[in-house]
Amino acid sequence: MKIVAAIKQVPSRDSLLKVNASGTWIEDTDLSWEINEPDAYALEEALQLKEITGGGEVIVLCAGPERASQTIREALAKGADRAIHIETGEQTPTDPLTLARLLASALETEKPDLILTGLQSDDLGYGQTGVVLAELMGLPHATIIMNVEPESTGIKVKRELEDGWFQNVWMPLPALLTIQSGATKLRYATLMGIKRAKTKEVKKAPAPNATSSSTVHLDRIYLPQKSKRTQILDGAPKEAAAKLVEKLRFEARVI
């Protein structure tokens, strides 16, 4: 089984984020970077499926600037066989449609049996790239996946629903799944895996000018404005109490 795990490099969760001088994005020159956590679970699911089926190939797919190579090597050190790096320069697309088009273009010649992505990204959190990619490639897809079981004619997946409910679905291959965080236990890269990662293939795929075809444009990013305001509720105590409860419930939304 040929499995593609799409990953993304995002700022570390403990990073101190600052808006850049132009006010269009965050200042990223001094940030530390890591693999997007939901994508780490997608990679883990791909590696476990390879172990269960006793063979096949796990390919890491990542779109990002040169610094993303560090995250790609980390994925290779954990056990992925090879990688495809879509080099976007510093203008990595931020909208799901443009990004999905880049991923779909890179996979045209691969013909994978299964594509796994994280449920959403930690930085933007759209949760749409995976399903848009499935639509572009004409693949059946399922979201919020907790478990995948390979079968002779396809796969059986377990989806997480609301209020503690789950749904078991049989799907044909090829297909695309978006994996829920916490679905399994993540592995660490071994010393031998880190050494082997240096010799594994990383195919460079230059991307077209993504910003010119982007469907979403960020005009301004800013911190929420803080303000203090005092309001006196006059009248009889009972009436004032009723007004206070109404404001706490419908304006402050704390009760």
Three-state SS string across 177-204, please?
A: EEECCCCCCCCCCCHHHHHHHCCCCEEE
Please give the pLDDT value at position 212: 52
Is 20 among the domain residues?
yes
The answer to whether residue 105 is domain-embedded is yes
- CA angle 111-188-195, nearest 5°? 75
- The pTM assigned to this predicted structure is 0.83
* Count of the separate structural domains present in the chain: 1
Phi, psi of 12 (to 5 degrees): -60, 150
Query: In terms of C-beta density within 10 A (0-12 exposed, 13-18 middle, 19 or more buried), how is residue 110 classed?
Result: middle
Closest CA to 116 of 155, 145, 159, 152: 145
For residue 186, the enclosing domain spans: 2-213
What per-residue confidence (pLDDT) applies to 17? 84
pLDDT digits (tens, 9 = 90+) for 41-69: 999 999 999 999 988 999 999 999 999 99
**Cα(6)–Cα(60) distance, rounded to whole angstroms?**
6
Q: What is the CATH number of the domain that holds 180?
A: 3.40.50.620
Q: Is 101 part of any domain?
A: yes
Q: For residue 241, is it within any domain?
A: no
- Looking at residue 213, its pLDDT comes to 65
What is the distance between the terminal CA atoms of the chain, rounded to a whole angstrom? 52
- pLDDT value, residue 39: 96
pLDDT at residue 27, rounded to an integer? 84
Peptide bond into 174 cis (omega under 30): yes
Tell me the two tokens of residue 58.
Answer: 């796990």
Contact call for residues 93 and 99 (beta carbons, < 8 A): yes
Tens-digit pLDDT profile for residues 112-145 = 999 999 999 998 889 999 999 999 999 999 999 9
Residues of the chain with pLDDT under 70: 208-213
The 3-state secondary structure of the chain reads CEEEEEECEEECCCCCCCECCCCCCECCCCCCEEECHHHHHHHHHHHHHHHHHCCCEEEEEEEECCCHHHHHHHHHHHCCCEEEEEECCCCCCCCHHHHHHHHHHHCCCCCCCEEEEECCCCCCCCCCHHHHHHHHHCCCEEEEEEEEEEECCEEEEEEECHHHCEEEEEECCCEEEEECCCCCCCCCCCHHHHHHHCCCCEEEEECCCCHHHCCCCCCCCCCCCCCCCCCCCCCCHHHHHHHHHHHHHHCCCCC
Residue 136: is it exposed, middle or buried by C-beta count within 10 angstroms (0-12/13-18/19+)?
middle
Write down the pLDDT at residue 214. 73
Task: Determine, yes or no, domain membership for 59.
Answer: yes
Residue 254 lies in a domain: no
Residue 249 belongs to a domain: no
- Is residue 239 in a domain? no
Using left for φ > 0, alpha for ψ between -120 and 50, and beta otherwise, residue 249 falls in: alpha
Q: How many CA atoms lie within 13 Å of 156's alpha carbon, on the beta-carbon side?
A: 6
